[in-house]
Structure formats: C-alpha cells, structure tokens
Structure 1
Amino acid sequence: MTLKLYAHPFSSYCQKVLIALYENTTPFEYLTLDDARNGVELEALWPIKKFPVLVDAGRTIMEASVIIEHLGLHHPGPVRLIPEDPRAAIEVRLMDRFFDNYIATPMQKIVLDRIRPEQDRDPYGVAEARAMLDKAYAWLDRTLADREWATGAAFSLADCAAAPSLFYADWAHPIGEAFSRVRGYRRRLLARPSFARAVDEARPYRPYFPLGAPDRD
C-alpha cells in the first residue's frame, strides 16, 4: 500500500519529512493541503489538524520526528537517518530537539506574530524569540566547529530538522556574520539535493511569507 503524506510544501515541518522521503527516494502519495478535500481528510484523521501526517497501511502517524523514525523502521533506505548505535542515536535526537525547540519555535513566534492584528501583537514575546535565536545561533556555531553535518560526518534526522528551521529562521532573524559556521552549514543544507527539491517545490508560495521573503535562496 502506498504511503500517504498530508502536507504543505511551504511548511517547515512538512519539509523536514519530505527531506527524509527524498533522501531515500521513498515512494509516497503527496496529498497537498492546497486541496480542500485533503484538508477534510486530514481533520478526520487528526482533529488537531497539525501537519504533516503520514498514513501507512491504515495507520496514522503524527509529528515530523516520529514520522521519520517510522520511515526508518518500516521503510528503510540507503541513507540511515537515525544511527544503529544507541549512543550516536541520542546525539541525533538531541540535535533534532534543539532545532525544533530553539530555532523553529522562536522563528515561528516572530512569523506568526506578524499575522496577528496589530493591536494583538506581542513585541515583548518577539524580542524574547529574537534573543533566543541569537543564543541558539551562538551555541550552534560552537558546536559545528568540527562537524560537517549536525552531529558529525553523516547526514541524519537532525539535519532534516535543521534545514527548514535555519532556512526560515534566517529570513525572520538573519544569522549574523559572526556565526560563520552556521551560515556555512545553512549553505551546505541548501545544496543537499533532497532539501533543494523541497525548497524548489515551495517557491510558488513565497509571496505568502508574512515578513516578506528575501530575494535569495
């Protein structure tokens, strides 16, 4: 039975899963949420309506990291995104949580605040989010001192998380020139064919970026 993925090309968490699928050329049916019928199906599967959602042989899997874990167990390919060694796997999962919690979350705070009516915006919360991103960039810059990818030499789940997080974070709160390793890592991620494909698929939606998409990337 074909895997079904309910997702939207412009969503960072959907791109996270798409990278994993593209890395291993895993076949799947892409049910984009531009189609209202797919949105109705998604709500029936997961009333919270957060995406991406994967359906595999009648089983519904939510949350991007869990979906990638599921793919590794049930649809493995040549690129192993979670190491077999449990100690190495812990490092990958740690970095995955770092990118979701300390890059993606404050980035989304900045972006979503812009969508609110002006009288309901939260400048204090946005300032906190920007401060968090600066701290996260600094920590990551030190951590990448001897690493090509998030945890070392091998591309992993952590890099699937990093790619869209850093991509959009740099749009919302630019990565400073002082963080040269982070900037170089972001460039390597953009050059990775799996992520480059996800970025290209999302290009038509750039005019909808609330802060205004920069003329780059």
Structure 2
Amino acid sequence: MRLFRRGPTKLFVWDFHGVLERGTEHAVFEITNAVLARCGYGERLAVEDNEHLYGRKWYEYFAHALPHEPPEKHLMLQRLAFEFSDAHPRVVGRHLSATEYAEEVLAKVAARHEQILLSNSRPGALRQFLQSVGLLHFFNDGTLHGLDGHRPDQARSKPDALAEYIRNKSFKDVIVIGDSLKDIELALAYNGVSYLYRHPGRSHPPSSATYKISDLREVLREV
C-alpha cells in the first residue's frame, strides 16, 4: 500500500471508455471491418466476436480476425484503424455518446473535489472523444491523461500517471471509477475506494471492487 498525505478533498480518478462514454464498441466494429476490407482481406469480425473482444487492445481485434498473420501485421492494421478513425470523425461521432448521468456526476464532483481522467487512448484522440460527447470542459491539460496504451511498448501506465499526479499533493481519499480489473488495482494501491462500472445489461466480472455499479450516480455517495 502506498501512503500519501491526507487533505480535505478527495481525488476522483476516472476511466473514459466504457465508463464516461458508451458506444465505442460499435465504432470499433465498423472501423475494424472497414480496414480489413480496404486492405483486401475477406475476413470480418462478427458481432459476437466484437462482444467477446470488448475492452481489448485494438491490435488484438486484428489478431483475432487474422490469426495467420504475424504480430507486426496486426500492429500495422491497428495503426491504419487509428488513421481511419482520425480521418472519419463522423464514424466515431455516430456511435459515441456520454454515459447517462455522466455530466451530472462530473459537475457535482468538480464542485467539491478534484478529478482526473486516465485513459489508454492516444492523447489527441482522447480530447476528440471528450469533445464529441460534451465532457471536455471538466478536464484540462493537467488532469487529462491519454496514455497510448495500445502500444506494446507503452512508456507510461495508469499507475505511473496517478503516482505522478498524487506526488506532493494532499487528498482525503482516492476514488477510482473504471470498467477493468486493472482500474480496481489502482484504488487498492492507495487503500482507496473502487467502483467497477458496467453499462446496464453488461455483467460485472468477479473482483475486489468496493462497489459494482451500473449507474454513475452511485458514485455521488463519495461527494
């Protein structure tokens, strides 16, 4: 357990995809199949494949669709998928929206406490996503961290970013809201409170999360 000085405010640590937004999986499905088609492959992801791969790195989608290709090819196709996404923002915008109650909860947290966003998205793409769903104004350069976690050689992780942010700061508690078990581990490292969020209709995996929720308003018990 890592210890830090206790102060009067709490730090809320948010994940983005699957927590503050909904619909990413549909954009990933459309773009993945578009890239496969553009590159001359006959293989396509099926809807059930897309559901099974939910939350994985994008190159893993291509590895699933093209198991006969080497990892280098999967990474190249991932790069093309990012380029397609950047060049066709309307594709992403057509599928992406803010999670229900996200704006209300972020506003109430901001009024009394501090919050940061840690995401494995690329920095530029993360800003575009937040702008698209109308939540960018809750974060700034110091509190918005896109960590480019789709790279096998990721240089900076969520634990790294959180440790850097907390250093020399005082917080009463750390509250982590995410949709993965690694997000829950962030809270454990600081003896904090963890919320494992899943959209309504999606099941929660076994975990040591303090709370398992499908309504972001439940986080307001910490405010």
The two structures have a TM-score, normalised by structure 1, of: 0.28
Q: Which has the higher strand share?
A: 2
Q: Which has the higher helix share?
A: 1
With CA pairs under 8 Å and 6+ residues apart, which has the higher RCO, 1 or 2? 2
